[in-house]
Structure 1
Amino acid sequence: MSEPSATPPVGRQLAERRDELNLSQVALAELIGVTSTSVSAAENGRSSIQRGKRSAWERALALKPGTISRAYARGTLLEPLDDTSVSTPSPYADMSNPRERAIWEMSISEADRRMIIDLLRQERHDSGQRPA
């Protein structure tokens, strides 16, 4: 009897998913809000992704929520989102809006950019302003 094939290490799976999405390590790092060195370390198994950053990685790589934690804990395969085709994730910001575009291009984590954009949108909604 042959043994079942082993699940690839999480880092290798992350690198394969990044390649499927045609993202460089630098581009992925920018989407997540980490350095390209951090991406390289995670992909090469030199470090595990911090729990607090896993959801940002999952959003950037169009993976199901919790899949990275499950892969680390149980040795399972990463699970892509069902409703996405393999393509580069589009920005959360309305890039035609100068304020949202400026926020999106800031050198802060994607989670922080999303939070600031949400606050901007809520403030516009509350004041009855139209988008700029």
Structure 2
Amino acid sequence: MVLGLFLTGLAPFGFLISFLPWHIYAFQVLHALGMALFVPSWNAIFTRHIDKKRVAFEWGMDSTCMGLGAGITAGLGGIIAAFWGFEVILILVGVFTLLSSFLLLFVHKHILPRDHIFPRFFPFRRS
């Protein structure tokens, strides 16, 4: 999950240095790879911490908050881009995403399953 969010955070900085069309595609592939690592991990952690009697409500709240957050930040991003340009948006997105990936390192006791040892480099292996 941390690696996925870290890779996702690198993509906006890559967009800043892109000057050929294929660069944009390459950094979008990096972003997609990062999200492919992050989203399933987040869903597993969220599912593990859900109140068993309120599963539908909590998934609904998660989806609603994600949608509202995306809508609000898109609006704010449009305002910032109108005043200061897209470079500022890409820098802010990259910084906040990298910061959030590093913050995950400090909460590993709360997000890892209790039956495994940190760090788990090969989560598919059972010992």
Q: TM-score, normalised by structure 2?
A: 0.26
Structure 1-normalised TM-score?
Answer: 0.25
Q: Per chain length, whose mean CA-contact separation is higher, i.e. which structure has more relative contact order (CA < 8 Å, sep 6+)?
A: 2
